[in-house]
Amino acid sequence: MKWIKRNDSEANYEDRRGRGVKRGATIGGLGAIIIAVIALLLGQDPGQMLNLVGEIIPNQTAQEVIDPSRVNENEDLKVFTLGVFNSANEVWTEVFRKQLNETYRNPVLVNFTEQTTSPCGGASAQTGPFYCPADEKIYIDLDFFHQLASKYGAQGQMAMAYVTAHEVGHHVQKVLGILDQFNQYRGKISEKEFNKLNVKLELQADFFAGLWAYQASRAGIILLEPGDLESAISAANAVGDDTLQKASMGYTVPDSFTHGTSAQRVYWFRKGYETGDINLGDTFSDPSLR
């Protein structure tokens, strides 16, 4: 893919590269001890919980530079990811207006190095990119893209774009109320049934990623090139649960798939990529996924 008009705006961007909440800087003394005791009683890591509390309390969320050598790390990947993120918001604003007659709201993109905190828990490069519905932010450690290329063989810009657009897809699900509906089933149905729903949720985010590519190209933001579909598909393959499970355990366990098989991910991404029509992305009522 090539940029035709890349939007570098940082209006919805939070740069935490080389930054963090200085431990002890926000909560000290007795407060910290009490939180540490509560954390231990709950079986949580006290350090992580302190960071989390610091994050939640207003006016104490300031991220300070803790490693000046890393504040501009992976700058080229940052510029690229931010461009994809901004273009996805432009695309979804239009799709909501034209196809759904609804209003879209922008999420925030957070880049960090090594680790950070979120209302959804701590994050590290191992966690991989994720979307936190509680603060409507997408968390990406840019180093993940090196892993994607080296460890999983998913190369090319479209592979990275797919990952970013997939996370924005989860935000779209939040805005549409799909994530809330999904969470209502938590603990109310069997684990096996819940996992099936989870797969549908993930495949829909893949469909939304494909839809982004179609619409961003149609809007003249990006130019799709030969090999782009394959590049995205290799990323979909790489982060499919069966591949990740094979890599970590050497075998696959069908019942615990939460992202779907690689073949399913490719199918739904391609469907969005070739149609650009949100009405065709209802993975929840698709007969093949019952």
- Residue 202 CB, nearest distance to Zn ion (Å)? 5
Encoded tokens for 101: 């007659």
Minimum CB distance to Zn ion smaller for 21 or for 199: 199
Q: Which of 183, 224, 227, 176 is nearest to 204 (CA)?
A: 176
Minimum CB distance to Zn ion smaller for 91 or for 239: 239
Minimum CB distance to Zn ion smaller for 108 or for 219: 108
Minimum CB distance to Zn ion smaller for 27 or for 205: 205
Specify whether the backbone of 276 is left (phi greater than 0), alpha (psi in -120 to 50) or beta: left
The mark string for 172-211 relative to Zn ion (x by CB under 5 A, - otherwise) is: ------------------------------x--x------
- Residue 233 CB, nearest distance to Zn ion (Å)? 16
Q: How far is CA 290 from CA 53, 195, 197, 199, 266, in A?
A: 41, 12, 9, 11, 18
The amino acid at 160: M
Task: Please state, in angstroms and rounded to a whole number, the distance separating the CA atoms of residues 225 and 237.
Answer: 20
Minimum CB distance to Zn ion smaller for 205 or for 222: 205
Instruction: Count residues binding Zn ion (CB under 5 A).
Output: 2
The number of residues making up the chain comes to: 290
- Residue 259 CB, nearest distance to Zn ion (Å)? 6
- Residue 68 CB, nearest distance to Zn ion (Å)? 33
Minimum CB distance to Zn ion smaller for 84 or for 205: 205
DSSP string, 92-160: HHHHIIIII-------EEEEESSEE--TT--EETTT-SEEETTTTEEEEETHHHHHHHHTT---SHHHH
- Residue 170 CB, nearest distance to Zn ion (Å)? 6
Q: What share of the chain is helix, strand, coil (3-state, %, to 5)?
A: 55, 10, 35
- Residue 160 CB, nearest distance to Zn ion (Å)? 15
- Residue 243 CB, nearest distance to Zn ion (Å)? 14
Task: Please state, in angstroms and rounded to a whole number, the distance separating the CA atoms of residues 122 and 2.
Answer: 34
The alpha carbon of residue 193 and the mean position of all alpha carbons in its chain are separated, in whole angstroms, by 23
Minimum CB distance to Zn ion smaller for 51 or for 167: 167
The mark string for 83-112 relative to Zn ion (x by CB under 5 A, - otherwise) is: ------------------------------
Q: What is the DSSP letter of 27?
A: S
Minimum CB distance to Zn ion smaller for 95 or for 205: 205
Of residues 138-167, those binding Zn ion (CB under 5 A): none
CB distance 205 to 222 below 8 Å: no
- Residue 86 CB, nearest distance to Zn ion (Å)? 20
Residues that bind Zn ion (CB under 5 A): 202, 205
